[in-house]
Amino acid sequence: MSWLSAIIILIATLVTAFISGIFGMAGGLILMGVLTALLPVASAMVLHGCIQLVSNGWRAWLLRGHVDWKVFGRYVLGTVVAIGILFLVAWRPDKTMVYLMLGLVPFLVWVPRSMIDLDIQKPYQAEGAAVAVQCLNTLAGVSGPLLDLMFVRTDMTRQAIVATKSATQVLAHIVKIAFWITPILLATGFSLEGLLGLGVAGASAAGNVGSWPPLGLLVFAIPLSMTGTWLGGLVLDRMDDVNFKRWMRWLVTVIGAVYLARAAGLL
């Protein structure tokens, strides 16, 4: 990885964490696109998972008093089912498919509420949401707009929405990291050198599927992610619920359009 790529990733980490700190999503969409453009898909997924794990974990901690733990507990049950599906199917998309999914996911925010009756607080909906969201998050890298559909009809405040979504996404990114690190481990014979892409043999084997992100990059990315999340939380406290939902919808729509154009270009 070049120094320029590393700098771009670190700047994107700070900016997207700030955006996610405000809206609880959108930042992950942008960061996933940046990483996919600069790294192999598997490496991008693993690095994105690590950064978003810290970002969402820190956000959930800062807003821990607003987390709906009952909903989270039910979400965990659905995640167990999703893990079984993911490792049974074992399909992993290429860059074009990742961009296509990244472009289509944001448009879920425009699905009319009259067409679907989703409310994550209702019986069995948290479990069902976990299956769908976990599968999409693992394969496309993000799932914020889909998860958002489960929250738009709840009576939660904006802080409770962001806090509870962040808690569920901590779990989602742990699963994503495990799913995408598996082919890297298999390709490199479960060796530490291969996992880190070190040495001629390790770099050659990992080159086809990616490798674990550079540790130095993670060292700088993690505090930047936490800083951006904290700054975004300050802005969140100054917004009202109406503007929060309006800005979130248009922001992810623009991002989706950009990714669809990128996917078309690759095709």
The 3-class secondary structure across 159-222, one letter per residue, is HHHHHHHHHHHHHHHHHHHHHHHHHHHHHCCCCHHHHCCCHHHHHHHHHCCCCCCCHHHHHHHH
CB hemisphere CA count around 37 (13 angstroms) = 17
Between 117 and 85, the more confident residue is 85
Mean local confidence (pLDDT), 96-114 = 79
Cα–Cα distance measured from residue 37 to residue 26, given in angstroms and rounded to the nearest whole number: 17
pLDDT given for residue 198 in this prediction? 44
Q: Which secondary-structure segment (H or E) carries 143? A: none
Dihedrals phi, psi of 208, to nearest 5 degrees = -75, -25
Q: What average pLDDT does this structure show over 248-266?
A: 82
Q: For residue 197, what pLDDT band results from cuts at 50, 70 and 90?
A: low
Query: Do 29 and 255 meet the contact criterion of CB atoms below 8 Å apart?
Result: yes
Say if residue 161's pLDDT is above 70. Answer: yes
How high is the pLDDT of residue 58? 86
Phi, psi of 156 (to 5 degrees): -75, 150
Cβ(8)–Cβ(15) below 8 Å: no
Q: What number is the average pLDDT over the span 216-227? A: 85
> Which pTM value belongs to this model?
0.79
Burial class of residue 237 (count of CB atoms within 10 Å of its CB; 0-12, 13-18, 19+): exposed
More confident residue, 149 or 200: 149
- What pLDDT sits at residue 241? 67
pLDDT at 174 over 80: yes
- Amino acid 200: pLDDT: 39
Residue 152 has pLDDT above 90, yes or no: no
- Residue environment code for 219-233, b if the CB has 16+ CB neighbours within 10 A, otherwise e: ebbbebbbbbbeebb
pLDDT of amino acid 201: 41
Mean pLDDT value across residues 83-107:
84
Predicted confidence band at 66 (pLDDT cuts at 50, 70, 90)? very high
d(CA 45, CA 32): 8
Residue 205 has pLDDT above 60, yes or no: no
Q: Give Cβ neighbours of residue 260 (< 8 Å, ≥ 6 apart).
A: 99, 100, 103, 104
**Domain boundary assignment for the chain:** 3-266
User: Residue 188 pLDDT more than 50?
Assistant: yes
Q: Which helix (H) or strand (E) holds 94?
A: none
pLDDT for residue 204 is more than 60: no
Could you read off the pLDDT of 132-149 as tens digits, one per residue?
889 988 888 877 777 777
